[in-house]
Amino acid sequence: MTYKVGVHYWGDNDFGPSFANVRVYIYSTLVFEIAEVELVKNDMWDVCRIEWPAGNVKAVVADGGGHKITADYENPMFVQ
């Protein structure tokens, strides 16, 4: 089974950009970390995949490198 990890910055309350940190622990051991990724309102950051039960964690990389961030993302499950 593969789990997807993402961060959706859906509301900024007019404070502007935020900086996201993601840490993945498996059995109390830190196995993956990305820090200080800048997101603005409605950004969706596709962070990583976790293969279970193997415990492999792989970062998602955008075409051309860097973080895979979708601007103006609207989740169909939530009214924004």
User: With 70 as the cut, is the pLDDT of residue 72 above it?
Assistant: yes
User: With 80 as the cut, is the pLDDT of residue 78 above it?
Assistant: no
The reply to whether 80 falls in a domain is no
pTM: 0.89
The reply to whether 76 falls in a domain is no
Phi, psi values for residue 66, rounded to 5°: 85, -175
What is the tens place of the pLDDT at every residue in 59-69? 999 999 999 99
The reply to whether 62 falls in a domain is yes
**Domains held by the chain: number:** 1
- Reported confidence tier of residue 76, pLDDT bands at 50, 70, 90: confident
What is the tens place of the pLDDT at every residue in 18-44? 999 999 999 999 999 999 999 999 999
